[in-house]
Structures are given as structure tokens and as C-alpha cells.
Structure 1
Amino acid sequence: MSESGPSQRRPSVNAAEGLASDEDAAVLAKLGYKQELRRNFTMIEVFGIAFSIMGLLPSIASTLAYSIPAGPVGMVWGWFAASAFIFVVGLAMADLGSAMPTSGGLYWWTHFFASPKTRNPLSFLVGYSNTLGLVGGLCSIDYGFSLMFLSVIVIARDGEWEPSNGVIYAVFLGCVLCHGVLASCLSKIMGKLQTVFVVMNFVLIFATIIALPIGRGSQRNSAAFIFTETANLTAWPSGWTFMLAWLSPIWTIGAFDSCVHMSEEAANATKAVPYGILMSIGSCWLFGFILVIVIAACMTPDYTSIMGSVYGQPMAQIYYDALGKRGTLGMMSLLFIVQFLMGLSITVAASRQSWAFSRDGALPFSGFFRRISKRFGYIPLRAIWGCVFLAAVLGLLSLIDPAAAQALFSLAVAGNNVAWATPILCRVVWGQHKFKPGPFYTGRFSVPIAWLAVAFLAFGIVLCMFPVGGPNPDAQTMNYTVVINSAVWGGALLYYFVDARKWFQGPKITLAEGDLTEHQEEILKEEGLDVKIDGIAPIVSRDEENNADGKKVKSGHFNPQ
């Protein structure tokens, strides 16, 4: 958008290139960043990318191994209870996302709210945990796609073929590379595609809700079975088996931070981000609850036959029992298509977090990855392919052992839980006096909500590290999540204290001289900021350097105090 008139004494780079409205660019400038990405996403499309990544039914299908051992009660009430707590986490994040919407929001908020002594190491830890957590999520989704895709072949061959680890990885690699190509070439319509992805998700949801009860006919289970029947297929006590069933919704409803990472591409981000977070969680809470009720009503009471299905997927067995071979092939095909769309959406979200972290100089080769491609539509092209390459390398663990691969992919839960909990905790412990609410705010309930969110996220970290089968695992059934995640967190902190503490000072300023129009400056003044011609006041330790376009930039860091 561009403006003309006597009140504007110089053109805005953002307006001239059509990247953002003055209001959105000014909100971002308040955080120290110039607008570099084009704001293609509406509020509904921001919701769409989170809902698409969650991929409700494919994710439920991929995580039935956590909930079925606790029986229908674990599936149904475990889903409802855990989703309620996840919604509380969403409320806490929505408060922050509305107040300070930026692609690197989680580590930015951590740095802003933490104490002077802890802000740099904690921000560094959160940035790495979130970045690797998102890439781990990409690995997990695409690995799940490869298993679903290959299960269709197994069904077609009547269970007489079993894919090797090499075949699974080959399909995984092809999927990851396709996501890299599509995320690079479809940037101009990526926002609109999210609406298509949401529609595809609901087509699959309603097809399942309708087809399964019809297919099972008179064999459907009773209400007493659905809502009161318990089971325990593990060596844990029944109560803890029920808690482990919470891992299904925790894994599924785990992509709402993607709304934060897309905030610099969202129009009216201060409202789009919080509502995207809450709409995606709320939709999964409701429709997921309906789905698990339908699945519990239509599955065979013989849980072991479902868990040990020759088709390699419990959901494939449930479909087969209700719909037969042809119906199962159709539903599983639709299932892996939606799973593929999930992977594309998380590739986009992961690349934005990686780009934001490299913009602040924290990732290796940051100068290379932080560049924006104008030719491909103002997107972080190099960051996209950096995520693709890392996912392809990490996926090699699937060649070793499924248990090792599963532990790596758990970064999507444990890694992101640390990244979500830390800024919320920093705000209520050190920075509540600095918190200025945005258009969305939970008011007097904000602090209690934040504490409850932190407690649940801490519980989720512990929960995902337990061996699912029982307290005495062997090498095949051991949960290596604690090993993988401890290596990530310990490695990030070791890297910081050995080397990065010498140069990492938190989020950088990227505003160039003359980036702000007079109208944008007026908006910032209304926020109480002393705006100058060459930047904004909360910049310290300034020294000039050239940015990628050759402009003089006032570089430095915010002083949150």
C-alpha cells in the first residue's frame, strides 16, 4: 500500500513493495524489525496453517498406539481432558502473540521478559529448541506419511508384503523433497491453499464420521463401552496408562505456535495470531472429541488385534473391519493425502522460525539463511531448503531403528513444550510489569492461566519421556526421548556458554534508515516510543553495517529494561 500527501515526507519501502499496511509494518517496527515478508495470510488462513499442520484425523490415526492401550475411556476422556489443558496453553500464548507478533516470537518474548542475567542463554535455548522441534515435527509428519502410504500397498497385497526401513526412508525422503519444492514455488498462493487444506481435512473427518458407523451397522459398541470401558495393555498401573493416552492429543494439537511464526506474513497480525491459535485448538478439541467417540463406537473390542494389525496401522485395521478392503484403500488414500498437506504446512512454518532465528544471527551460516528471495515471492527460500536438508539427514535414523526415529521425532513435543513454557514463565516471574496487552487479552485471568499453562507443559515434557509399554523396557521398547532432547538442550546451552555468549545478544534491529513513513512514526509515537528519523529509540550499542541490499542499517539490540 502507498500513501500520498503532505504528511508523508518520504516513501515507505514496505508500502512501495506492497508488503504490508502501515499499521502492520509499524507494529513490527516497534519490535525492531523491518517488514521483509509479504503479508499474504488473512486471519482465516493463519488459522488454516495451524489446523492443517495438526491434521486432526491423520494425527489421531498416527497416535492411536498411545490411547488404545487405555481403552475407550483413555481415548475419549483422555482426549477431552488434555485438549482442555492445551486450550489453556493457547490462551497464554495468544496473550503474548497479540501483544508482540513476530516470526521469532517465542525466543523474542523470552529475551524481552527474562532477567538481565538469564535473557541471553534462555533466548538462545528457546530458539534452538523451537527450531529443532519444528524440524522434528516435519520429520514426524513425513515419516507418518510414508507409513500410511506404504500401508495402502500392504492392504492392496492382502498383508503379504512388509516394507523395509530403506523403503520407508526412500518414501520419506521423496516426501520431504516435494515439500521443499512446493513451499518454494507456491508462496504467492500458500495462504489461499490453507483454506483448501482445511476443507480437505473436514472432508476426511466427515467421511470417517459417516462411513464407520454405516460400515459397522449392528456391530457398533454401546454408550457404556464408549464412555466407561477401561483397559490396560501396558505394564504400568491403569491410572498411568490413562495419563499416557493424553499423548495422542498432545502430539496432535501441537502446531498452534505456527500462527506466531506466520505473524510477519499475516494481515492485522495482532488479531489474526491469537484467533488463529484459539480457533485451531478449539476446532481440534471439538472435532477430535467427536472422532474418538466414533472410533470407540466402531472399533472391535479386541484391542490387541488392532494394535498388532498386519497392515501396520491401527486405523487401517479399524477401517478394514468396518469398510472392507476397497473402502479401506479409499479412506487410507485420503488419509495420506491430508498427511502430505500437513507436512507442506509445517515446512512453511519451520522455515519462518529458522529464518527469524538466522535474522538474529543465532544459527550457523545465519548470513546465508537469513536472505529473502524476491524472485520467489519474498520468502526465506534458503531457510526452506535448510529445513528440508536437516529433516532429510535426521530421518536417516529411521534406517537404524524405529525406536530411535520415534525419539528424534519427539522433539515436536518435548522441544516445543520447552519453547512454549519458557517465555510464559519468564513473563510471570520477571516481566509482568513490562507486559502491555494487545487487542486480545484474558485480563485478570492472564497470570493464573499462564501458571497453569506452564505446569501442564512441564507435565507434558515428563509424560512424553516415559516408555509407553511399561517400567522395564528393553533396547527395542525404550523411549530415547530423554536422550535426544537432553542432547539438544545441553548442546544449545554448551554452545552458548562456550562460544555464542561472546556474540549473541538477543534479537537484532533490522530497521534501515528511512524505512518508516511519517504515518508509521506517528503510530509508534502513540505507543509511547521516541521515534527518530533513522530508527526508533529502544536501540542500544548501535554501529552501522550493510544489510543484504547494501543499505546502511542501524544494527544493535533492544534494551528491554
Structure 2
Amino acid sequence: MATTTGAGVQPDLEKTVSRRSHTNAPPEELLASDADAELLAKLGYKQELRRNFTMIEVFGIAFSIIGLLPSIASTLSFSIPAGPIGMVWGWFLASMFIFIVGVAMADLGSAMPTSGGLYWWTHYFASPKTRNALSFLVGYSNSLGLIGGLCSIDYGFALMFCSVIVIARDGNWTPSNGVVYAVFLCCVLLHGVLASTLSKIMGKLQTVFVALNIILIVATIIALPVGKHLSSERNDAHYIFAQSENLTTWPTGWAFMLSWLSPIWTIGAFDSCVHMSEEASNAAKAVPYGIMMAIGSAWILGFIIMIVIAACIDPNLENVLGSSFGQPMAQIYYDAIGKHGTLGLMSLLFIVQFVMGLSILVAASRQTWAFSRDGALPFSSFFRPISKRMGYIPLRTIWGCVFVAAILGLLCLIAPAAASALFSLAVAGNDLAWGIPIFCRVVWGQHKFVPGPFYTGDRFSKPIAWVAIIFLVFGITLAMFPDGGPDPTPQTMNYTVVINIAVWGGAMLYYFVDARKWFTGPKITIDVSALSEEQQAALAAEGLDLGVGEGLVPGGGMQPQVEGVQEKVHEKGDTESN
């Protein structure tokens, strides 16, 4: 990590903070290797979580959250209105741009792997005048975006679970909103229990979850064409790759663009690799490669799945969208393989959807824990402690996320439109949180960026970052359009713009009214009592608050000296930015 205090400071700083971080590590066991603890200490944090995730398991948690086939099943209503060309080529093109976003994030994740990475990077790279406000906004947008993702996944699970019952009863039962919420609530609570009790094997479970996803994908890719072959009703290549439809009142070209919402919704939460970085071995490599492997595999496998679905779907697309089963994918299965085959695959589908929810709860709890570690969340002192008894996990933030999700899920009782608008935080909220730190790096902080083991190079890194920024702005805008057409009714209105502006505006109002008085960005948690003034200045130059963190020696003559160092560093930063 580069500093503004001279080349000779950083090596001594690394040795000192590494030594101090090991001093503060729990004596019961070694939580991390020397290299991982040293890299984290450079960011100002002591090692508190156990590093029991390998690179494959970091990939596994992101791929598990993506939950490729269940997510495609939940979002087909976005792509089917544009016809096969929207399903197949909309998926391919949007996924390509999402991969570019992942590569831009991988550059940052390799250089600075920490659980609160997105808001940490924002604070480090932003200008001195904007760093606190933007970091605060990104932290809240990312935290609520992940919790919104948990709500969205578990709400999708509830709908799939109920659709199996509908299929079993031959369409002679319709679940009420109350029944859907009851299933949703049971799912969220069970996730809380499992995330709390399975911490020691959570990394290993990701491999199992990946295997479940692959089994479901392979079963679908085989079963649909075989079933359709028996009935001689498969669609030809021209239909699959060139047939355009428009079941909206938007122009055909814009209907195609709206089909991009399916991959945008599906290939999300890959920042979970970043949030697991303090539990990953060799995080500087595990995080970037985990991100790119998760997005890349979803891109290719999803393209294959969409081709198979387009080959086997009923050409009368309105029948599929208006299915009495409440799920277009359930109708596609039913048309191809009949009732019993549909029950089997839909049951496997909602099981995979269930493990998606468990994985995103784990990731969300790490982000909210990191944000509470830096004192930004309400009741941060309550959520901050790590539970050693349960395996060095942030137990309280797990249940905090469960509680918030259960409250937000009450919108299921109002109307599906209200629920889907809130759950869109998983798209718009996370897109904002991904885009701002990338933007801050290329606009204000490129001179401070020191690459990690993974780096796309000086020639490509900035163009990749700008393409990612432009696509994320487009994705946020796209997510706010009514998918049916212009002039929506209250029932068909897309309330995403209302929900997200309320969240972002509320976070900024909270900051400027109150939080600006006490939120100064990431706080150092290593013990700095043994650091020299130059070393303190080096950490302060990283954007870290040396005056409030844990492990500091309170009072005495040191504190004013540290504050003076910070002021000098900030003044220097203002001069550079001007």
C-alpha cells in the first residue's frame, strides 16, 4: 500500500502492524497466516475472523448466491417479453458487461481485501471533501442492497415452494399473500439458525452448494430437450437465435434492452467475495479470482441454459408468462416433462434457491459487521463483537440482518409490486455501491492505487473501470423502468426509483444532520501505541481514523499528536486534489 509519507515508512509500518496484529489475535488459535494478517494490518485492522475459506470456496459462495438456474427462473418475466433474441443475446451481452464490472472490482479486491471493501475503497480513493459522505453512502447502499438480496432470494423461494404445491394440486390452489409471507419468514429464520451454527463448515458447504447448482443445471439441460424430442415440438435454430417478440408497449429495441434485467438481477452479489476476504486464505488472490470465476461461469452456463429454454419454450409466450403455476419456469418444465418431472425439478430448484439465501446471509452479515466495526451503523457497539464460542463469526449481525429482512418482507402482505420494488435494492443499491469506489479510483485516487497480485495492467485497468462505471449507471437506470410499458398504472408501476431514492436520500440526510459529526471513515483496530509519529502518519494517509479505534492508548500525550498528524495529512490531500 502506497503512502504519502515517504518510501522508507511503509516497510517498518508493515512489520510493526503485523507484529501488533498477531499480539492482538485471540490466543486460542491462529486465525490467519502471517501474510494475510500482515496485509489486513496494512489496512488498519487486526485479524478477528478465522480464515477458513479457500479460493474455490470463495468462488463457491459467490456462485451459490448467483444460484444460476433458480435466479433465471425468477427473472424470466424480464426476458421472455423480448422473445428468444432477448433471452439468448440479451443474456450474453449483459453478462459480458457484468464480467467487465467484476474485473474492475477484482483489481481493487486484490490490492485491498477487507470485509468492508467497497466503502473502504471509496474512503481511500475519494477526495478529502467527499470521502466521508461517499463512504457512508456506499456502506449503507451495500448493506441494504445485500439484505434486499436476501429478501429477494427468500421471497423467490417462497413463491417456488408454493408453486410446487399448486402443481401437485393441478392448479386448484392459489397461495395468499399471508401464506407466501409465512413461508418467507420460516425460510429467513432457518437461514439465521444455519448461518449461526454451521460456521465451522460453511466454507466446505459452498462446494456442496456449487455441486447442487451444477446437478440442477445439467438435469435441466438434459431433461428439457429430451422431453420436447418425445413430443417433436422443439423450436428450430432460427427461432432460438433470431426470433424477436415484443409483449410490452415499449418500442421493440427498448424491450430488448429490458431483457438485460434478467442477467443483471441474476449475476449479482459477486461482491460477496470481497466481504469474505477476512475469512479467505491468500485473500489477495482468492478474492479477484473468486469474482471472475463466479461471473464467468454464470455467463457461459447461463447462455447455454437460455439456448435450451428458447429451444423448448412454447412459442405462444403469453401462455408461459400467464401460467397458472405462477412461475414461467414451472410452465416450461410442465410442457416438456409433465407433472411428475416438473415436481422433481421444481423441488430441486427451490432447494438450490434456499442455499442461495443462506450464502447471501453470510455475506450480508460480514458487510454489516465491518460497517459496525467502523461505527457507522446504529447500535454499532452492540453489533460489533465477534462470537468466539460460535466459531469467530459476527453472530449479532447475522441476526440483525434476519430481523431487518423479516420486517422488510412484510411488504409481501401488501402487493408483489411493493415487495419487488424493495427487493430491487439488490440491483440498484449494489450497483451504486460497486460503481462509486471504481469511479473514485479513476477520478481522484489513481495516483494512490498500488496493484495487488491480480492486476489488469496500466494500459487496460482504467478503460475497464470506465466501461464498468457507464454500464452500472445504465443498469441503475434500466432497473427503474416499468417493464410493461410507459404510462403504468399503480399496480404495474415500478417503485424502484421511489425506494432507492428514499434509501440514498435517507442515508445522506442522516449523514449531514448527524453522522458527519462523528463518522470519519474506517477506524484502525490494531494497537498503535508502539507506532512512531511517521508510522501513525502513514496509516492516517490511508484514510484511517487513528483517534477512535479499538486498542488505542486513551488519553496521555499521544492523542493530540495523532490528531495533528491527521490534520496535516488531510491538508496535504486537499492541496493535491486542488
Q: What interval of TM-score do these two structures reach, taking the shorter chain for normalisation? A: over 0.9
SS of 2:392 mapped into structure 1 = coil
Counterpart in the other structure of 1:445: 460
1:253 corresponds in structure 2 to 267
Partner of 1:303: 317
Conserved? CA contact 2:522–2:545, under 8 Å: no
Distance 1:404 1:104, change over 3 A: same
Cross-structure match for 2:351: 337
Counterpart for residue 4 of structure 1: none
Match of 1:35 among 27, 32, 47: 47
Q: Against the structure 1 CA distance between its residues 226 and 509, is the aligned structure 2 distance closer, same or farther, given a 3 Å change threshold?
A: same
In 2, the alpha carbon distance for the partners of 1:265 and 1:15 equals: 15
Following superposition of structure 1 onto structure 2, how do residues 388-403 of structure 1 map, counting pairs within 5 Å?
A: 388-403=402-417
Residues in 2 aligned to 1:513 and 1:80: alpha-carbon distance in whole angstroms: 50
The answer to whether residue 422 in structure 2 is matched with residue 420 in structure 1 is no
Structure 1 residues 164, 207: CA separation in 2 closer, same or farther (over 3 Å shift)? same
| Aligned partners of 2:51 and 2:281 also within 8 Å | yes
The whole-number CA distance in structure 2 between the counterparts of 1:254 and 1:234 is: 25
Matches within 5 A, 1:41-60: 41-60=53-72
Q: What is the alpha-carbon distance in structure 2 between the residues aligned to residue 20 and residue 354 of structure 1? A: 21
Instruction: Tell me if structure 1 keeps the 8 A contact 2:20–2:527.
Output: no
Aligned to 1:115: 127
11-20 vs 324-333, which moves further: 11-20
Once residues 438 and 20 of structure 2 are traced to their aligned partners in structure 1, the CA distance between those partners, rounded to angstroms, is 40
The answer to whether 1:490 aligns with 2:502 is: no
Name the aligned partner's letter for residue 461 of structure 2.
S
Match of 1:262 among 276, 289, 302: 276
Give runs of aligned pairs for residues 71-470 of structure 1, distance below 5 A.
Answer: 71-217=83-229, 218-443=232-457, 444-470=459-485
In structure 1, give the amino acid aligned to 2:39. Answer: V
2:576 matched residue in structure 1:
none
Q: CA deviation at 1:545?
A: 7.0
C-alpha spacing 1:107/1:351, structure 2 compared with 1 (3 Å) = same
Alpha-carbon contact 2:524-2:545 (below 8 Å) kept: no
Partner Cα distance (1:141, 1:42) in 2: 25
Task: Specify the code of the residue in structure 2 equivalent to 1:23.
Answer: A
8 Å contact from structure 1 (residues 513, 535) kept in 2: no
TM-superposed deviation, 1:18: 1.4
Contact (CA 8 Å) 1:530, 1:536: kept in 2 or not? Answer: no
The Cα offsets for residues 256-291 of structure 1, whole Å up to 9 and x where unpaired, read as 100000000000000000000000000000000000
Q: CA offset at residue 530 of structure 1?
A: 6.0
Could you tell me which residue of structure 1 aligns to residue 9 of structure 2? none
What CA distance in whole angstroms lies between the structure 1 residues aligned with 2:448 and 2:421? 38
- Distance in 2 (CA, whole Å) between partners of 1:150 and 1:447 is 47
Shift of 1:9: 11
CA contact (8 A) 2:524 2:550 kept: no
User: CA contact under 8 A between 2:124 and 2:543: conserved in structure 1?
Assistant: no
Change (3 A) 1:424 1:477: same
- How many percent identity over aligned positions? 74
Q: Secondary structure at the match of 1:396?
A: helix
Change (3 A) 1:544 1:392: closer
Distance 1:24 1:513 in 2: 19
Cα displacement (A) at 1:14: 3.3
* Counterpart residue type for residue 518 of structure 2: W
1:507 correspondence with 2:522: yes
- 8 Å CA contact 2:113–2:274 kept in 1: the answer is yes
Asked if 2 retains the 8 angstrom alpha-carbon contact of 1:88 and 1:453, the reply is yes
1:477 equivalent in structure 2: 492
Contact residue 15 and residue 22 of structure 1 kept, 8 A: no
Task: Report if aligned partners of 2:523, 2:549 keep a CA contact under 8 Å in 1.
Answer: no
* Secondary structure of the structure 1 residue equivalent to 2:148: helix
With over 3 angstroms needed to count, the CA separation of the structure-2 counterparts of 1:164 and 1:243, relative to structure 1, is same
Determine the C-alpha separation between the residues in 1 that align with 2:545 and 2:236.
69
**1:512: how far off?**
2.5
TM-score normalised per structure 2:
0.90
Q: How far 1:255 sits from its partner (Å)? A: 1.5
In the other structure, the counterpart of 1:14 is: 25
TM-superposed deviation, 1:10: 11
Aligned to 2:82: 70
Q: Once the 2 structures are TM-superposed, how far is the Cα of residue 12 of structure 1 from its aligned partner?
A: 3.6
CA distance in 2, matches of 1:397, 1:184: 26
Mapped to 2, the partners of 1:467 and 1:330 lie a distance apart of 34
Checking the alignment, whether the CA contact within 8 Å between 1:15 and 1:21 is kept in structure 2 is: no
Indicate conservation of the 8 Å contact 1:103/1:262, yes or no: yes
Query: CA, structure 1 residues 264+157, in 2 after alignment: closer, same or farther (shift >3 Å)?
Result: same
- Distance in 2, matches of 1:433 and 1:411, equals 32
The amino acid of 1:322's aligned partner reads A
How many Å separate the matches in 2 of 1:539 and 1:264? 19
Point out the more displaced range, 539-548 or 429-438: 539-548
- Can you list the C-alpha shifts for 1:68-96, whole angstroms capped at 9, x where unaligned? 00000000000000000001000100000
Give the counterpart letter for 2:482 in structure 1.
P
> For residues 471-509 of structure 1, what are the alpha-carbon distances to aligned partners after superposition, in whole Å with 9 as ceiling and x for unaligned?
010011000000000000000000000000000000000
**Unaligned 5+ residue runs, structure 1?**
1-6
Q: State how far apart, in whole Å, the 2-side matches of 1:487 and 1:446 are.
A: 33
Q: Quick check: 1:403–1:477 contact (8 Å CA) kept in 2?
A: yes
- Deviations 1:209-230, CA, capped at 9 Å, x for gaps: 0000000012111000000000
Aligned residues: CA RMSD: 2.5
Query: Which amino acid is the alignment partner of residue 72 of structure 1?
Result: P
SS of the counterpart of 2:424? helix
Contact 1:531 1:537 in 2 (8 A): no
When structure 1 is superposed on structure 2, of 14-23 and 461-470 the one drifting more is 14-23
| 2:361 partner letter | T
Amino acid in the other structure paired with 1:314 = P
Code of the aligned partner of 1:455? I
Contact 1:60 1:248 in 2 (8 A): yes
1:61 and 1:428 map into 2 onto residues whose CA distance is 37
Residue range with higher mean Cα deviation, 12-21 or 432-441: 12-21
Q: Distance in 1 between matches of 2:330 and 2:117?
A: 39
Name the CA shift for 1:11/1:225 in 2 (closer, same or farther; >3 Å): closer
Task: Give the structure-1-normalised TM-score.
Answer: 0.93
Deviation at residue 513 of structure 1 after TM alignment = 5.5
Equivalent AA in structure 1 for residue 460 of structure 2: F
- Whole-Å Cα distance in 2 between the matches of residues 479 and 456 of structure 1? 20
Tell whether the 8 Å contact from 1:133 to 1:413 is kept in structure 2 after alignment. yes
Q: Which moved more, 1:12-21 or 1:150-159?
A: 12-21
Counterpart residue type for residue 20 of structure 1: A
Shift in alpha-carbon separation, 1:545–1:429, aligned structure 2, 3 A? closer
